[in-house]
Amino acid sequence: MTAPSTERRDQEREDLIAMLASQRELFRITLRGIDDAQARQRSTVSELTLGGLLHHLVHCEQLWTSVIVERDENSKLDVSQFDSEYRMAPEETVEGLLKEWDTLADNTTRLIREVDDLDVSIPTPTSPWVPERVWWTVRFTLLHIFREIAHHSGHADIIREALDGANSTYQRAG
């Protein structure tokens, strides 16, 4: 069996980059026209808010890209921070979080292009709900970031619709 061609490997990387960018953009569309007060407003019975979801997604991408880079076999998730994981802090703004996400997206793109092998297994942090060390491929870890963004884009759409009736489908044209 021969190794995949360089062209095919490069295409897979560009596909991963494009899918992440597309999903980030869909989430961003849901935030169009939202101010910081609206971003903090609960609009459903859930505690989730648009700003809290944005805060989480920035943190999530930051965490999982660092897992890819650091490959620390002794890492543990710091669950002490989880009570604020889905909250936009008082000093945070939608604009500031989006700028942070843009920088992070650029770093993720660079990482995807430069990482040696998408098939290499890396250790994931342990946590109370996953106490044993689990190993994921770099590819799976990147797809996990995608899954998080996609999952929370659905939440964001529901929250936005409950706020003012807008949603990403109708906002795309805007």
- Alpha carbons 126 and 134: distance in angstroms, whole number: 8
The pLDDT of residue 89 is: 95
Domain count of the chain? 1
Where residue 85 sits, what CATH number does that domain have? 1.20.120.450
Q: Hey, what amino acid is at 40?
A: R
For residue 166, what pLDDT is reported? Answer: 87
Its pTM stands at: 0.92
Query: Quick check: is 129 in a domain?
Result: yes
The predicted-structure confidence for 123-167, as pLDDT tens digits, reads as follows 999 999 999 999 999 999 999 999 999 999 999 999 999 999 887
| CB-count exposure of residue 5 (10 Å: 0-12, 13-18, 19+) | exposed
Q: Say if 38 falls within a structural domain.
A: yes
What is the extent of the structural domain holding 134?
Answer: 6-171
Q: Tens digit of pLDDT for each residue in 23-66?
A: 999 999 999 999 999 999 999 999 999 999 999 999 999 999 99
8 A C-beta contact, residue 101 and residue 58? yes
In a domain, 90, yes or no: yes
Q: Which residue has the higher pLDDT, 174 or 18?
A: 18
Residue 174 pLDDT = 58
Q: Does residue 43 lie within any of the structural domains?
A: yes
pLDDT at 2 over 60: no
As a whole number of angstroms, the distance between CA 2 and CA 109 comes to 27
Give yes or no for residue 96 having a pLDDT over 90. yes
Is residue 133 situated within a structural domain?
Answer: yes
**C-alpha dihedral sign at 62, 51, 33, 20:** positive
Note whether residue 106 is domain-resident. Answer: yes
Q: Is residue 71 part of a domain?
A: yes
Q: Tell me what pLDDT residue 150 has.
A: 97
* pLDDT recorded at residue 83: 82
Per-residue pLDDT at 3: 58
Using pLDDT thresholds of 50, 70 and 90, give the confidence band for residue 4.
low
Residue 1 domain-assigned?
Answer: no
